[in-house]
Amino acid sequence: MLMFFQYNWQVRNEWFEWCKELSANELKEKRIGGVENILNTLLHIVDVETSWIRAIQNKRDYVINFDEYTTLEKVKDLSDLNRREIEEYLLTWSAEIENEITVVPWSGDQFTKGEIVRHVIAHEIHHIGQLSVWARELDRTPVSASLIDRGLLRK
Amino acid sequence: MLMFFQYNWQVRNEWFEWCKELSANELKEKRIGGVENILNTLLHIVDVETSWIRAIQNKRDYVINFDEYTTLEKVKDLSDLNRREIEEYLLTWSAEIENEITVVPWSGDQFTKGEIVRHVIAHEIHHIGQLSVWARELDRTPVSASLIDRGLLRK
């Protein structure tokens, strides 16, 4: 399971690098689809990953105020900060945990932990696909989405 | 691993249904990013999944002629046909297979089977993200990409 997260984090960091070439206006300009701008897409990815992985651990949900994360640096810092905690948890992941039930604090719904981690993985890849279209609309080459040959280790 | 494929197949079939509302022109109209049109994106997803999962099994690669798959029905039929073979193989999947090496016939490169199946999974989700932007550009509501609450079974 960890390999997928390593893939997502590697790709996400490449998008953070890629975004450095953009103006503040291009980062926040309203676009069609998804979360409607590039910066908020990256913040939304961090937010969703953090909320679900904290829910699995029965930790309380942090509600992110999107108005506070107005620069690429702030979003990247939050991504780095939260990733440490998430990675620490995922290193303890095992097949036995898959069918354990999590009650989600924001809705009270119940899901298996296996379903939740897959949801988080797919969620990020989906939004990154949206970024790739917006990149082309900006006449730029998107970050490669290929998972193969990134030197990811299976865990 | 199978849960991700079940997710992708369910979402893909919902996109096939969604596409029935489009004209032939809308399906094939050139768009910005990815494989540049909706029909070829779906065909490309089927093509890539089939090629890699056949490679894992040391089966020869089918080279798909994109000029032959000019209608939604033809692409959907190929998706259904190939899926049966792919599902049959994936039902035999186990953690022990993950580190086995596959030599890919089209390049001679070597990858672990674990890396290949994750590549195939991420590949489809990424392109579906692109479809979701194009859907909004067509003023239509895209298929939901949420993995949670689809009744997928862990395997």
* Residues of the domain holding B25: 2-145
In a domain, B80, yes or no: yes
Q: What is the pLDDT of residue B155?
A: 45
In a domain, B76, yes or no: yes
Which of the four pLDDT bands, split at 50, 70 and 90, describes residue A151? confident
Dihedral over Cα of A144, B118, B39, B15: its sign: negative
Nearest Cα neighbor of A134 from B139, B119, B136 is: B136
In a domain, B93, yes or no: yes
- Statement: the pTM of the whole predicted model exceeds 0.95: yes
In a domain, A153, yes or no: no
The tokens describing B95, both together, are 């953690």
Q: What is the pLDDT of residue A155?
A: 45
In a domain, B108, yes or no: yes
In a domain, A154, yes or no: no
The tokens describing B38, both together, are 């909706």
In chain B, how many domains are there? 1
The Cα A49–Cα A43 span in angstroms is: 10
User: For residue B153, is pLDDT > 80?
Assistant: no
The Cα A26–Cα A29 span in angstroms is: 5
**A68: CATH:** 1.20.120.450
Q: How far is B102 from chain A (nearest CA, A)?
A: 12
A44 is in an annotated binding site: yes
**Which residues of B are annotated binding-site positions?**
44, 123, 127
Provide the β-strand partners of residue A14. none
CB atoms within 10 A of CB B110: 9
CB atoms within 10 A of CB B70: 14
**Which residues of B are annotated binding-site positions for a divalent metal cation?**
44, 123, 127
Indicate the residue of A111, A129, A149 with minimum beta-carbon distance to B126: A129
Q: B17 and chain A: CB distance < 8 Å anywhere?
A: no
The Cα A93–Cα A91 span in angstroms is: 5
In a domain, B28, yes or no: yes
ipTM of this predicted structure: 0.96
Whether residue B102 contacts residue B56, with contact meaning beta carbons closer than 8 Å, is answered with yes
Q: What is the pLDDT of residues B105-130, one digit of tens each?
A: 999 999 999 999 999 999 999 999 99
Q: What is the pLDDT of residues B57-83, one digit of tens each?
A: 999 998 999 999 999 999 999 999 999
Q: What is the pLDDT of residue A152?
A: 84
Q: What is the pLDDT of residue B149?
A: 81
Q: What is the pLDDT of residue A62?
A: 87
Q: What is the pLDDT of residue B154?
A: 53
User: For residue A42, is pLDDT > 60?
Assistant: yes
HSE-up of B90 (CA within 13 Å, CB side)?
24
The tokens describing A155, both together, are 């865990």
> Do the Cβ atoms of B133 and A135 come within 8 Å?
no
Which of the four pLDDT bands, split at 50, 70 and 90, describes residue B151? confident
Which of the four pLDDT bands, split at 50, 70 and 90, describes residue A153? low
User: For residue A49, is pLDDT > 90?
Assistant: yes
In a domain, B127, yes or no: yes
